[in-house]
Structure formats: C-alpha cells, structure tokens
Structure 1
Amino acid sequence: MSLSTHTAGLGLWGLLMFVALGFELIFASCAFVYTRRLLRLKTLPLGDELNGYQKALRSLRKNEPMSRDEWNLAERIIDIRRSPLAYTVPLSFMTMGLFYVFGSLEYLHGHTPSERTFLGVIPMFTATNLIIQMRKSARLKKRLSSATIVESNAEAESSPAGAR
C-alpha cells in the first residue's frame, strides 16, 4: 500500500501548467526585448517632468490646446502603448498567474482548493487592468490629428518673428 499523494502521471492541470510556463517564457522574453528598446529611446523635454505623461494625455482627451512638446510626448506615449510588443508585459503577468493557479491545482490532485490556490488571480486582474488602460490610451490616436497645437511663450520669444 502506497501512502504517497503523488500520481504517476501528469494530469490536466499539470499539462496546463507547463503550457502556461511555455507561454510565460515567450511573453517574458518578448517583454524583456521591448523594455530594452524603450530604455534606449531618447527622453523628450516634458518626459522627465512629474506627471508629464498624464498631463499630455489628459490635454489630448479633453481637446485642450497643447504645446508642441506636449503633442510630441502624447504621440510617443500612444505609439508606445499601441505596439503589439507592449502587450507582452501584461500577458507575462497573466501567464504567471495561470502558472501559479494550474500548478496549485495539480499539486492538490483533486482535493478541494484553498484560498491560497487562487492567489494567482491577483496578477491576472492586474494584467487585465493594464490591458484596458493601454487600450484606452491607444484609442487616442484618432484625436492626435485634430489636436490644437499652440506655440508656447518660450518658442515665440526665440523665433525671429517674435523679435520685432
């Protein structure tokens, strides 16, 4: 008589766990490549300011007049968030949660799951929220073409027309 709780083979949950692990490796490596690309981008003038990104996107959402720097920053943020590789970051969170849940279910071998089993749902909710936020800001691409760009005072003073 064997008192071991482990089965000889891999069950459905174990198979799904390894599938999630495979996708996790793919998404995590793509996210690594994507973040390395982002780190190589040159910063824009308003990009280093506190809440600069949020201010630029808020101005675009509300159809407020924007400076050229704000418009450039909003364009870059929208392009960054529209990239297909950008979605690998939340997808790697999602597959990490799936891996945890499936691994816990495989470890239980049919016993009743506890609350600990479903801790993997937290990164899944986080990933879902990230994807929703990225889609909301990516939809602003249509508004970029109709955005009102005003010349800032510093640009007006430095231009030859402002020196009269």
Structure 2
Amino acid sequence: MSLSLFGCLTIFSFVAELVFAVCAFVFVRRLLAREPTPMSENVGSVRMVLSKLRKGEPMSEDELDFATQVIADRRSLLAYSIPAAIFTIGCLYVFGSLEQLHGRTPSLRTFIGVLPMLGAINLTAQLHRIAILKRRLPSARKTAAPVAQSGQREAESNF
C-alpha cells in the first residue's frame, strides 16, 4: 500500500488535529476551573473593558484586573490551539477529499474545507489583536471607584 502526497498530508493533518484538540481541551479546562470574578459575570464585560483600554479611558481597579486577566488568557499559546484545531479540520477535509479523487478534477465540494480555515485565520487575528493590548496595560489610568451612572449621581447629590 503506497500513500500519495495527499494521503500523507491527510494523516499529518489528523495527527496535528489530535495534538491541537488536546491542547484546546486543556486550555478550556483551565478556564472553567478558575473561580469567576464578579466582573466576568456581566454580559459584554470583556468588550467593554477592552474598548476602555483601547481608548485610554480611566478604569477601576476591578476593570484593570479583569483586563489583565483577559489579555493574559488570550495571549497564551494554548489559546492559539483553538484556531489551530479549526484550521487543521479544514486541512483534513480538503486533503482527504483530494486523496479520494485519485487525480480527478476536484469539485467545489472539495474546497468546502477552506471555510473553517478562513474562520481560523480570523480567530487568530482577533486573538493577536487582543494580545497587542498588553502594551497599553501599564499606562492604563485607574480611578478610585467604578464610574456611576449619571442618574445615580444626581439622586445622591439631592440628599
């Protein structure tokens, strides 16, 4: 039994998929085992904190700690194993389809595996974009307390 180039690439993609899937599993287990912070329980808190950091707005101590945690999590090499696993799924599909064709002309169905590859590239770019924010952490301004809503300030000042 001799393997063609695409057969060897399919086997290599399968082995890489197993490695990246195990790494992604370990990463997710670590994240789930961690005690959630009060800030992380709010819907949209990651987006809010990262946008404040990008814009250079003042942040409370909790927000700054949460931003540091989010950036550290997304800078981890294990975090990059998730898009790598998605990318290798696409490679596995494309190479496996090309192996099954045995030299015939590939159809559009063969290249459906490119879609997860493009999604993985986008996810990697997003992780990298967040990882770059680490440079802004030391210069982030702190406020004494979280910023209150304007309606709450007026109500407190009336008493």
Quote the Cα distance in structure 1 between the aligned partners of 2:144 and 2:35.
23
- 1:97 pairs with one of 69, 90, 100: 90
Q: Secondary structure at the match of 2:41?
A: coil
Q: How many residues are treated as equivalent by the alignment?
A: 147
2:131 is equivalent to residue 127 of structure 1: no
Q: Does 2:46 align with 1:30? A: no
- Is 1:14 matched with 2:7? yes
Task: Give the match for residue 5 of structure 1.
Answer: none
Task: Note if contact 2:60-2:146 (Cα within 8 Å) is conserved in structure 1.
Answer: no
1:31-46 map, 5 Å? 31-46=24-39
Q: Which runs of 5+ in 2 are unaligned?
A: 148-159
TM-score of the two chains, using structure 1 as the length reference: 0.87
Q: Helix, strand or coil for the counterpart of 1:50?
A: coil
Q: CA RMSD in A?
A: 1.2
Task: Tell whether the 8 Å contact from 2:6 to 2:95 is kept in structure 1 after alignment.
Answer: yes
Contact 2:59–2:146 under 8 Å retained in 1: no
2:71 aligns with one of 61, 65, 78: 78
Structure exhibiting the larger radius of gyration computed from Cα positions: 1
The TM-score normalised by the length of structure 2 is 0.89
Q: After superposition, where does 1:141-152 map in structure 2 within 5 Å?
A: 141-152=134-145
CA drift of 1:144 comes to 0.5
- Listed as ranges, the gaps of 5+ residues in structure 1 are 1-7, 155-164
| Runs of 4+ that moved beyond 4 A | none
